[in-house]
Amino acid sequence: MKVAIVTGASRGIGACVAQGLAEDGFSLALTARSKEGLDQVAKKIKESNHKGVQILTFPCDVSDSKAVNQMVETTVKKFGRIDLLVNNAGMSKTGTLAISTDEFDEVLSVNLKGPFALLKAVVPTMKSQGDGTIINIASRAGKIGFAGWGAYAASKFGMVGLGESLYRELSPMGIRVTTLCPSWVDTDMAKVSTFPANQMLNPEDILKSIRYIMSLSPAAAVKELMIECRAHLA
């Protein structure tokens, strides 16, 4: 049995990745705050009738480290292992110094401390297995600080740094760590963008990137993958 944890699985990129991983035979632990959203995604996957695929849904806020620990413990209890973590849950907020300190804290809690809690909870299981894959979904805004997006950029730059350190620590142990840095992806989060949907990446591009990384030989290590939107580069 192959097992994946997907955070932020109630919609957008996470929902698409969950559906694709089920097609690939992964049993899934799906998490996000919305129980209704998770139930809908799980229902759709079950309707596709993938042989042997089991699904656990666990509504929780990623910024609540105790709940994250419980989710991971429940996953290991049910499935016995974790092969893949898709550390995807996140929020966006515009503003650099225009936002309050509380808002800045919230962005860091969800986008950086949340993924940190997941990594802390999942890595011991992967270490004991001697294998596993971690995909951190950061952003192009984790490589380039755009005007008006300082808090989001701070959280995603943090994720890129956290990912790179873990990449160096865990790769020699047989655990792959890759941080994806996509530009705009056509989901709810991108509704604030002025770019038309057909010029954005789509969630399938992220699923395909994850499949590509997992298809490489054990000798290959991919630290980061930046995926830009062709039309925005001119």
Query: What contacts 188, CB < 8 A, 6 or more positions away?
Result: 11, 12
13 binds ligand NAP (CB under 6 A): yes
User: Which residues are bridge partners to 179 per DSSP?
Assistant: 136, 224
Contact pick of 63, 75, 179, 209 for ligand NAP (by CB under 6 A): 63
34 binds ligand NAP (CB under 6 A): yes
Cα–Cα distance for residue pair 98/95, rounded to 1 Å = 5
Tokens standing for residue 70:
């419980």
Instruction: Return the residues of window 135-154 that contact ligand NAP according to CB under 6 A.
Output: 137, 139
132 binds ligand NAP (CB under 6 A): no
Q: Which CB sits closer to ligand NAP, 171 or 193?
A: 193
Contact pick of 20, 150, 163, 182 for ligand NAP (by CB under 6 A): 182
Least Cβ distance, residue 82 to ligand NAP (angstroms): 18
Terminal-to-terminal C-alpha distance of the chain = 45
Least Cβ distance, residue 172 to ligand NAP (angstroms): 27
In degrees rounded to 5, what are phi and psi of residue 87?
-85, 85
Contact pick of 90, 132, 150, 158 for ligand NAP (by CB under 6 A): 90
Contact pick of 4, 5, 6, 10 for ligand NAP (by CB under 6 A): 10
Least Cβ distance, residue 23 to ligand NAP (angstroms): 18
Cα–Cα distance for residue pair 10/5, rounded to 1 Å = 13
The C-alpha torsion from 73 through 136 and 151 to 192, rounded to 10°, is -110
CA 182 to chain centre: 12
In degrees rounded to 5, what are phi and psi of residue 30?
-110, 135
Least Cβ distance, residue 150 to ligand NAP (angstroms): 15
Tokens standing for residue 8:
């932020």
Scan for tokens 């990594």, then name that residue: 119
Contact pick of 89, 112, 151, 207 for ligand NAP (by CB under 6 A): 89
184 binds ligand NAP (CB under 6 A): yes
DSSP 17-29: HHHHHHHTTEEEE
**152 part of the active site:** yes
Contact pick of 4, 6, 8, 158 for ligand NAP (by CB under 6 A): 8
Q: Which residues are catalytic?
A: 152
Contact residues for ligand NAP, defined by CB under 6 A: 8-14, 32-34, 37, 61-63, 88-92, 110, 137, 139, 182, 184-185, 187-190
